Amino acid sequence: MGKRSVFVFAVLSLFLTACKTSFRITVRNPPEILLADSTKRFLLVNNVTNENSPDELLDQVIKGQQYNGNVIASEQSINGILRSLDDSRYLKGTPGAPLQFRKNMETDWNIVDSVCRNSGVQGVIEIASFESKAPVGGTVLANVTGQSASPLKGWIYFNVYIANTHQHLDRLSLSEVYNIPVSGTLNPLSMLSDMIRKREVYGQMGYNIGYRTGFLFYSNWFWVNRSYYTKGSTNLKRAKRLIRSGNWDLAERQLTADINSPKNKVAGRAKFNMALVYEGQGRLDDAVMMAERAAFENGTKPAYDYINILKNRKTQRSTFDLSGMEK
């Protein structure tokens, strides 16, 4: 066999026996608003009005019309929150009539406690205001710039009150962009002047942002691309299928035996895969810690990039704790 053939065979063998593989997995995204186990039902109150959420488009373009896009969006945001909480399988929402929970800029906890007690809920999610920015420039500008859609931007502002513990979050916000299709002579401003179409567009934007608001209260799962080691020790091989199937708890038990192995490569790979397991479980702090151990204690090269990925995920999240004990 010639030298060239031997080289090709060696490269092919190395490729076929690669010890690391990449694939898509679902990882747990912990809730950004932490609740006590006893907090499972919310009263949903929409306090958005023409006064606290004026419609910029209504003022500038169609002043004589009667529909405020922000009010329309807020109405549908309640439906979005309802659906989102229901999808959690353990949280529930109940729509309530508009009601003010503050007096002289301070929360009136007598009102909060009384309303929650009478409604059979443990907390209130209040939509305080809604803002939007309508597309500008119409069809001509969109066509000149080559756009196929014109963005309608919206911002929801909401407060959260927990009865009995008297914990609260004020003026939290989320934003949403709804792209209005632009083609031919279709003018987004003309569309928003049509009351039926305006209700559809603002309503869909409000529903979307409401659904995402509900997401903040419970864990959810999403897809990511990740690499992990598949060859090495017996425990590493046994954990391979568990990781791929998302059986995180059993994978953790399988890898634990190798974390403190006297063999540097075995310990490093076990720590790297364990970091992935922790991410899958939603334990981002533990995942960063284990990836750092793989990098600094064992010199596992892929761990350095993985540390940055995990830290970026952490910086994109804010956590608010409403899980305090009842007073």
Q: Report pLDDT digits (tens) over 43-92.
A: 999 999 988 778 765 444 444 445 788 999 999 999 999 999 999 999 99
The residue extents of the domains of the chain are: 33-215, 228-315
Return the HEC string of 108-125.
CHHHHHHHHHHHCCCEEE
Number of H helices, E strands in the chain: 12, 11
**Bridge partners, 123 (sequence order):** 42, 162
Q: Is 197 helix (H, G, I), strand (E, B) or coil?
A: helix
- Predicted pLDDT at 8: 43
pLDDT tens digits, residue range 104-121? 889 999 999 999 999 999
**Class of 228-315 in CATH:** mainly alpha
Domain 33-215 has CATH 3.40.50: yes
Query: What pLDDT sits at residue 52?
Result: 78
pTM (2 d.p.): 0.73
CA dihedral for 95, 100, 105, 107, sign (positive or negative): negative
> From CA 229, how far away is CA 226, in angstroms rounded?
10
